[in-house]
Amino acid sequence: MSYGMRGKVKEIVTSMDALREHSRSPRNITLRQYIGEKFKDTAGKSLEVGHLYSELGIDPLHTKLNELYQDEDTAYLVSEVIRDGLRRGIGMAQREQLAALKQALISQSTITSEAGNTRFISPEVFTDPIMRGAVQAVFYPDLVIREIGIPQPNVTMPLIDLSDAKLEESAEGATIEVGTVSYGSKDVKVTKEAKGLQFTYESLEFNTLDLVALYFEDLGRQLGSKLNNKAVLALINGDQVNLSENAAVIGVTDPTKGFQYRDILRGLVRLSRLGRAATSIIGNEETIVDYLDIEAVKNKQFSGNPLLEAMMKSPLPTKQSAYVSGKVAANQLVLADASSALVQLTARYLMLETEKIVRKQISGTFASIITGFANFQRNARVIIDKSVNINAANFPAWMAPYED
């Protein structure tokens, strides 16, 4: 069946690359999204990648990579097959799929099975993306509010300080005390991250498209690991060279005992008073093990009621996502509110460049992305250092609760 896409693969791929590198509003568009937006059937329903493959006679389970190279038009699909593998390696594809499934559940929508029968979404639909996501070492998307496309590698962001904007009591007829909100700007620079693989023609050209995509997932994991490091360093040091946006570092009750539950609570309570829910905790291998070994973390609560039941009215997180990063210094744990701490700024989305050395029968694929991380609210994270006493390193003035 003809869907009007034959002979247009080059046009499709070059159009997507243009959108990804748009000078004012770059877009991280996928082949699936592009086809769904640009191509419709006779009933006006969006077409899918499967329709394109069907029209071109491509079966990802059986079609070999070298078969695509035999046609000038389908050769342009190679980069998209590789890009799909990279996106899975970075974890982008899984998160998009899970987000779509969650949205479908919220809206109580239905899905259609391959047999054409309509049924409600059931838990097994989540199995594949969750299991694939479970093997990913990439967690930076979990630490950011959202990813924002920017037109150039440098961006000016607002810098707002609410520390002096406090409500004051005022007697009848008295002059009202006026608080101030400091407003300024800061420049944030994003950098290019790139990874490449070289391989012989024979190593890939006789493999199927599905296997090629799986092969490049490893490259995606390497690239994603570098972005993990950038996000964690932004939480710790901020986005300014002079460290003016770095996180506060506080000590513990007793350095000889290391991390205790009360030390974690101290950070959670202060962040809660600032309206932050620290649902993320990051440390190196040693400090995360220390955290997971705290009695209150590893042991279940006893059944029954306490003698004097207390209800915490300043909400504290009941669950925390723990992440391991070698960029966190020894003896430290980072508490962060992922809904307030960081934004990801991307000047160029995931792009691919290829080169061929015909004489050596070697081909190389290089993936690159121009992205970085900027602090949104400085007081949305705090670092706890188990080697320092809290009396010597307490919360700084800019982390004072608003009502004090």
In this structure, is residue 346 part of a structural domain?
Answer: yes
In this structure, is residue 14 part of a structural domain?
Answer: no
In this structure, is residue 225 part of a structural domain?
Answer: yes
In this structure, is residue 260 part of a structural domain?
Answer: yes
In this structure, is residue 100 part of a structural domain?
Answer: no
Same domain, 355 and 396: yes
Same domain, 208 and 336: yes
In this structure, is residue 112 part of a structural domain?
Answer: no
Domain residues for 284? 144-152+190-299+316-404
Same domain, 291 and 161: no
Same domain, 181 and 198: no
Q: What is the pLDDT along the chain (404 residues), one digit of tens a residue?
A: 677 888 899 999 999 988 888 777 788 888 989 999 999 888 888 899 999 999 999 988 888 877 887 888 888 888 888 888 888 777 776 667 666 666 665 555 444 444 444 444 334 333 444 344 434 578 888 899 888 887 777 767 666 555 544 444 544 544 444 444 444 567 777 877 776 666 666 666 677 877 777 777 777 788 888 889 999 999 999 988 899 899 999 999 999 999 999 999 999 999 999 889 999 999 999 999 999 999 888 876 666 677 777 777 667 777 888 999 999 999 999 999 999 999 998 888 887 766 655 555 566 667 778 888 988 889 999 999 999 999 999 999 999 987 65
In this structure, is residue 5 part of a structural domain?
Answer: no
Same domain, 227 and 176: no
User: Residue 285's domain is classified under what CATH number?
Assistant: 3.90.1690.10
Residue pLDDT, tens place only, 183-227: 456 777 787 777 666 666 666 667 787 777 777 777 778 888 888
Same domain, 392 and 322: yes
Same domain, 165 and 266: no
Burial of 240 (0-12, 13-18, 19+ CB in 10 A): middle
Same domain, 350 and 276: yes
Same domain, 205 and 326: yes
Same domain, 388 and 262: yes
Domains held by the chain: number? 2
- Which pTM value belongs to this model? 0.74
Same domain, 272 and 165: no
CA-to-CA distance for 385 and 155, rounded, in angstroms? 33
331: left (phi over 0), alpha (psi -120 to 50) or beta: left
Same domain, 228 and 255: yes
Q: Are 140 and 108 in contact (CB under 8 A)?
A: no
